[in-house]
Amino acid sequence: MKINFSGEVKRLFKGRSMISKYRNNPAYGITGAGEKFVIPGSTVFTALQFLHFLIIIGFLLCAVSSSVAAEITGPEVKMQENEIHATTSLLLDDKYLQEIRNGIKKEFRFYIDIFRVWNLWPDEFVSSKSFTRTLRSDPVKTEFIATSSDGNTQIKKRFKSFESMLKWALSFDDLKLANVRDLEPGAYFVRVTVESKIRHLPPVIGYFMIFLPENEFKIRKDSSFFSLGAR
């Protein structure tokens, strides 16, 4: 079966120069009816071959994703002046750190949530704080830049060393999460989730990659249970 531009593929490329450039050009094998999909250089993709191509790319990207190791330290929870505070950080493996050193920009999304524990029911989501942090190194200028955003405020900082950038961007010390007066008595825990967003794919490839994961990795870790009030 050949890929026709009469269905979904035609709608994806509708109005784009790709069709007009090669349509009615015998060198590329696309007739006025768009009978087959041809990559310049006379390589013809049937529908099955094209599907196999996407599957192979998907497996390769997933393999790269699974090879990246990251670890969450903590979270450690403590009460201070009727406030719940959490301390946690993200540790990256050497391969991932080297990519940042080489100038590849990385984006991390941190979700720090409070859950209430129930014995017979699913744990109850109570509150959350989220942060998006990016890291970028310039090997030529020996410059290290990181940003942090909580959805309302964005902070951008420059650092003299790679290590100081990592410490600031990947750590949370005594982060205030909630006031205990706003919570009912019971058992609770803090869950930290971290996502590393994958680099953006070229637009044409992106049309066919909607079934692939958006993250290089996604990990989470829970704190020990802690009690509030009388049970």
pLDDT digits (tens, 9 = 90+) for 145-157: 999 999 899 999 9
Q: Same structural domain for residues 31 and 132?
A: no
Could you tell me the two tokens for 84?
A: 């719940």
Say if residue 162 is in the same domain as residue 218: yes
Evaluate the CA torsion angle 34, 39, 45, 50 in order and state its sign.
negative
Same domain, 53 and 77: no
1 lies in some domain: no
Higher-pLDDT residue of 66, 172: 172
Q: Supply the pLDDT for residue 210.
A: 53
Let me know whether 98 and 178 are in one domain.
Answer: yes
Same domain, 126 and 80: yes
Tell me the whole-structure pTM to 2 decimals. 0.67
- Residue finishing a domain among 17, 45, 62: 62
Q: What is the pLDDT of residue 29?
A: 45
Same domain? For 121 and 41 the reply is no
- Eight-state DSSP code of residue 180: G
Is pLDDT of 6 > 80?
no
Residue 203, domain extent:
69-228
Place of tokens 């420059």: 158
CA distance 184 to 189: 13
Which of 8-12, 63-67, 135-139 has maximum average pLDDT? 135-139
Q: State which of 37, 62, 87 marks the end of a domain.
A: 62
Has residue 3 been placed in a domain?
no
Instruction: Check residue 65 and give its pLDDT.
Output: 46
Residue type, 215: N
Q: Is the residue at 113 inside a domain?
A: yes
Whether 123 has a pLDDT exceeding 80, the answer reads: yes
Hey, is 194 helix, strand or coil?
A: strand
Is residue 137 assigned to a domain? yes
Provide the token pair at 146: 């990181």
Q: Is residue 171 part of a domain?
A: yes
Which residue has 């044409």 as its token pair?
A: 204
Number of domains present in the structure of the chain: 2
Least confident of 111-120, 171-180, 204-213: 204-213
Q: How confident is the model at residue 229 (pLDDT cuts 50, 70, 90)?
A: confident
Quickly list DSSP for 4-66.
PTTSHHHHHHTT-HHHHHHTTBGGGTB-TT--SEEETTTEEEBHHHHHHHHHHHHHHHHHHHH
Q: Does residue 217 fall inside a structural domain? A: yes
Can you give the pLDDT at residue 139?
86
Which of the residue ranges 10-14, 80-84, 113-117, 225-229 has the most confident prediction, judged by mean pLDDT? 113-117
Residue 132 located in a structural domain: yes
Q: Which residue bears the tokens 């129930």?
A: 118
Average pLDDT of the chain, as a whole number: 77
Pick the last residue of a domain from 22, 46, 62.
Answer: 62
Shared domain check, 41 and 142: no
Same domain, 159 and 52: no
**Pair 109, 167 in one domain:** yes
Helix H segments across 68-158?
A: 94-101
How do strand 83-92 and strand 171-179 relate by DSSP bridges? antiparallel
Question: Does residue 26 have a cis peptide bond before it, meaning omega lies within 30 degrees of 0?
Answer: no
Instruction: Give the C-alpha separation, 62 to 107, whole Å.
Output: 18
User: Coil, helix or strand for 95?
Assistant: helix
The predicted structure's pLDDT at residue 217: 87
pLDDT at 101: 93
pLDDT at 25: 52
**Claim to verify: residue 203 and residue 91 sit in the same structural domain:** yes
Q: Do 52 and 151 belong to one domain?
A: no
Q: Would residue 2 count as lying in a domain?
A: no
> Does residue 77 sit in the same domain as residue 95?
yes
Give me 28's structure tokens.
């590329």
